[in-house]
Amino acid sequence: MNRKKIMLFTAVCSAALLSGCGGSKGLVQDYSKDYVNLAQYTGLTVDREVTEITDEELQYAIESDLAMYAEYNEISDRAARDGDVVVIDFAGSIDGEELEDGSMEDMEIELGSDSFIDGFEDAIVGMKTGETKTFDLTFPEPYDGVLDGQTATFEVTLNEIYEVITPEYNDEYVASISDCSTVEEYEEELRATLEEEYAADALDMACEDILTTVIDSSTFSGRPEELYESCRSAVEIEEQTALEDYGIDDIHEIYGEDYDQDSYILETMYERMVVYTIAAKEDIAVTDEEYQAALEEDMMYTEYASVEEYEESIADVTSYQYYLLRQKVLDFLGENNHFNDVDASLYYEDEDWESLDEEDLEFADEDVQYMEGADDEAVEDADSADAGDADDTNSADTGNADDTDSADAEDTDMISLDGADYQETESDTEAS
């Protein structure tokens, strides 16, 4: 499955497109009778990455946990300094003409994080709350093909300063956040958890590779119209979700100029035909109980008070039922095929990165930009609720990520000062 298809499928799944009745038995159909010559799907061998957790990765996880439990104390009696989180308004211009999407209000940044072009954060260090400062900075070369090497004037107003108080890493700290009593015990448990997560991710990727191999090796003839129309509807919803998430109007800005909806609908249909056919042959289905359990689990990350209310608020039951069935088929493939464990570092050394074209690299960069923008919004949400409450922050982050339908409708402006997008959000209306 190519990267764009994974991205689109993830978009529809993260939106939790549910509705209607329970399991998937009504969807399962053996399309091999008329539409697909199904390739071998058991007894195959694919590579599976094996990752050893390095000391650096363990340390990164420790520091990430420390940051999650940090407290944010508002400061009013001193100037901003490196390590502080500040809230600013800013506007950028060149020769008196404002930069496109070049102004933001109430944007949070951590000074010293190198999130912006060189000199931007340094210029804020030493400012006090309420102070406005104007300074010139030169965009690097290369940059975005438009602002490369140009000098811009930025006007920044510092609204708030927060001192970040990170917990001391000791036995007392680990005892407060876990069942461990010592740092050594905590690190051993954390390493084991990371290994389990890496192994689970590697298995998921390997199972996806098997499914892709089966689809690519199968042959298709004709199309079942009912399934085709269902896939068309699903793709349209996926696209709309992606556009809303990115806050833009042109799907090609997300998935590249060569993205073609008709081709993607066919790809989606072919995948579903393979999944449904394997499910039919192996008697795999999603039961009503499994469907209900999935609803209940997903609802936990939303603002809905009941499963019924949650279920009524969202659409496209077929896509969500398919998603649940697809996972069960992937589990079956994982149990009935073979894996050749490969060291992950060697695996990626063999990747032909130079073969990636410019569009692939741009897409990967857009993916990173979007995720970084989402992280900024999560920090903003956390501080507005309670800067020092790490547990509440986590809950808010998870809810926002897993259910865009239940989140507040937002207007988003972006400016890229380092190649990554930073977002300003203004909540307008609550989704009903």
Report helix angle 3-14 to 358-386, nearest 10.
Answer: 20
What are the tokens at 51? 């990752």
- The 10 Å CB-count burial string (b at 16+, else e) for 212-238 is bbbbeebebeebbeebbebbbebbebb
pLDDT attached to residue 184: 98
Taking the C-alpha atoms of residue 283 and residue 24, their distance in angstroms, rounded to an integer, is 11
What are the tokens at 89? 């308004």
pLDDT attached to residue 6: 41
Q: Residue count of the chain, please give it.
A: 432
Which secondary-structure segment (H or E) carries 220?
Answer: strand 219-220
**To which residue do tokens 């192994």 refer?**
199
Sequence-separated (6 or more) residues with CB below 8 Å from residue 162: 72, 73, 74, 75, 84, 85, 86, 87, 383, 387
Nearest to 89 by CA among 8, 178, 18, 159: 159
pLDDT attached to residue 255: 92
pLDDT attached to residue 313: 73
- In this prediction the pTM is 0.65
Q: Which residue type does 179 have?
A: D
* pLDDT values of the chain reduced to their tens digit, one per residue, 432 residues: 343 444 444 434 433 333 334 455 556 899 999 999 999 999 999 999 988 999 999 999 999 999 999 999 999 999 999 999 999 999 999 999 998 878 899 999 999 999 888 999 999 999 999 999 999 999 999 887 788 899 999 999 999 999 999 999 999 999 999 999 999 999 999 999 999 999 999 999 999 999 999 999 999 999 999 999 999 999 999 999 899 888 889 999 899 999 999 999 999 999 999 999 999 999 999 999 998 999 899 898 888 889 888 877 766 677 888 999 999 999 999 999 999 999 877 655 555 545 555 545 444 444 444 333 444 444 444 444 444 444 443 433 433 334 434 334 333 333 334 433 333 333 333 333
Listed in order, the ranges of the chain carrying CATH 3.10.50.40 are 71-168
pLDDT attached to residue 13: 41
What would the 3-class secondary structure string for 50-62 be? Answer: ECCCCHHHHHHHH
Q: How many CB atoms lie within 10 A of CB 340?
A: 10
**CATH fold of the domain at 3-53+184-351:** Trigger factor, domain 2 (1.10.3120)
Please give the distance of CA 149 from its chain centroid, rounded to a whole number.
Answer: 32
71-168 belongs to which CATH class?
alpha beta
Taking the C-alpha atoms of residue 134 and residue 159, their distance in angstroms, rounded to an integer, is 15
Q: For 69-182, where are the alpha helices, taking DSSP H only? A: 120-124, 171-177
**To which residue do tokens 């833009």 refer?**
248
pLDDT attached to residue 391: 45
pLDDT attached to residue 379: 43
At 151, is the secondary structure helix, strand, or coil? strand
DSSP 26: T
Listed in order, the ranges of the chain carrying CATH 1.10.3120 are 3-53+184-351
